[in-house]
A and B are shown apart, each in its own frame.
Chain A
Amino acid sequence: MVVNLETKKIPAGRIAEDKVLRFSVGERISHWVHAISFFVLLFTGLGVLSVFFQPAMSIIGGVQVAMVIHRVSAIVFVVVVGMMFFIGNPRYHWRWLKFVFNFTKSDWQHVSAFPKEFFGGHGNYPAPDKFNGGEKINSLITILGTVFITLSGVVMWFASSFPPALVRWAYPVHDLSMILMTAAVIGHMYLGLLHPDSRAAMSGMINGYVSTKFARAHHGDWLERLEQEQKAYDDSEIINHRLDNRGKGSSF
């Protein structure tokens, strides 16, 4: 099923010479809108939540302004990313969900071997698919954290419309979601920006492509599958359009 989805519509062109398309434009928009609004929300939210961060709110004009920015960016955080699941080419978004909610045995093997690699060593685990166990956990924390922080946030925003007992529970839920996502994003940024091996993945979130070398080393199963699909597609192209040369298949 996953395989079919991946090859539909854009069967060729995912592998271009020494690089391979990992994230679609839509995925990258979602990621960065989510990332930027998350940090705006974190900054303004901490100003409301804690006296330690309150003085920093003078940068944006005080706690009251922070509360307004918090709500505006909350809408961006939820609505824009939510919309990306339905507009443009949302197939990638749904397939990502399918991947991360399918946590396999080899993902566990990756997760248990990964701490070694996190601190610069080498872990042994089966070649992961498009997402490895750690990436799936990061995605799951982000998805569940977003759902819970959004629901509790709605309750807190419209507190007078909800029973007090529900509002009282919304506070710890909102806080816990924030804590989990903040802890996750710290590790996420380290692996994306500072970790000598995995930071090669960063280009995937910038121009969409990662090097085939990186893909082979970190997502071997995924690259292998793409190569087979591309080959199968190219072969069928030759049969169907004998006059077309092979170059066309991979050039668009």
Chain B
Amino acid sequence: MTRKMVLVDTSKCTGCKACSVACKEWNELPAEKTKLITSYQTHKDFTTKTWTYMTFLEKYEKQSMNWLMRKAQCFHCADPACLKACSSNAIAKTESGFVVIDQEKCTGCGYCVENCPFGVPKVDPIKKKAYKCTGCIERVENNLLPACVYTCQPGALSFGERDAMLGQAKDRLAKVQKTHPKAQLYGEKEMGGTTFLYLLLDSPEVYGLPINPTIPLSLTLWKDVIRPVGGIAVGGAAAAVVIGVFANLFRGNYRQSDEKVENDSGDSDRKKGGKD
């Protein structure tokens, strides 16, 4: 299957939240008690049972309000930090470009939670498993649209081949920039190119998104430097011990040392470590 893409065109979004309802329904996620966070926003963050939610932002500029809405969900990075951080090989990337967690393998260590630059995965403290948006991979692989895309009424979400969708996104951006000069695409290059790509009406930081999301340096250092070098160090120590045992056997030092315990008067040992 070729690389797919979901374009989240925030210029068309009306904030109806049907996408988050569709997500709950298809993925059989129970509703959670919510409260008003800001504007029309009712979810503060992802939870193990809420994989997508709407953010609302009222931005006042030149005596007028810009109502910025964004559907938040996993970006499904081409170069996912969560996958690199996972200690139990529970996170995989599909050919279609979706990043999925295998809860059978997941141990709930939470390394993905801490390393995701967008704070997407969440660990269920009772089940000890990490959860996040699956991109409705089971639908996609059966030629259906992801539930959120399928349900979106104003056409803010569209799904297709990545190359074609990217062209579509750029055409749309040119149009939107006439009314929103700060509008930009987010996810074309970020994290190797994300499968959920945004057309934002303002700069990413206004939406609370990192301007230049990367795999944390600490993670690269850990997995690509400390791990292999450390393996060599521990292996080297073990090899030195094995060689040491054989070298001592070969030199007959074991027999000699047993005799020493029996017969030596002590002074002859002074040659070792003593000032000659």
Contact = CB atoms under 8 A, between A and B. Distances in A.
A51 B107 CA distance: 10
A64 B276 CA distance: 58
Contacts of A31: none
A179 B276 contact: no
Interface string B222-235: 10001100100110
A119 B243 contact: yes
Contacts of A30: none
A197 B226 contact: no
Nearest to B276: A124
Interface in A199-252: 199-200, 212-214, 216-218, 220
Contact of A183 (B87, B234, B244): B234
Interface string A61-85: 0011001000000000000000000
Interface in A160-190: 164-165, 167-169, 171-172, 175-176, 179-180, 182-184, 186-187, 189-190
A217 B272 contact: yes
Contacts of B221: 172
Contact of B253 (A54, A120, A216): A120
Contact of A220 (B115, B234, B236, B273): B273
B273 A195 contact: no
Interface in B245-270: 245, 247-248, 250-251, 253-254, 256-257, 261, 264, 266-267, 269-270
B273 A63 contact: no
A176 to B, nearest CB: 5
B221 to A, nearest CB: 5
Given A51-B89, A217-B274, A190 B245 contact: yes
21 contacts: A50-B87, A51-B87, A51-B88, A51-B89, A127-B274, A164-B114, A165-B218, A168-B219, A172-B219, A176-B226, A176-B230, A179-B230, A182-B237, A186-B238, A187-B237, A195-B244, A196-B248, A196-B253, A213-B269, A217-B266, A220-B270
Most chain A beta carbons < 10 A, residue from B227, B236, B241, B272:
B272
Contacts of B227: 175
B234 A159 contact: no
Given A196-B253, A213-B269, 15 more contacts: A50-B87, A120-B250, A120-B251, A126-B275, A127-B274, A171-B218, A179-B233, A183-B234, A184-B237, A186-B234, A190-B240, A194-B248, A195-B244, A200-B257, A216-B267
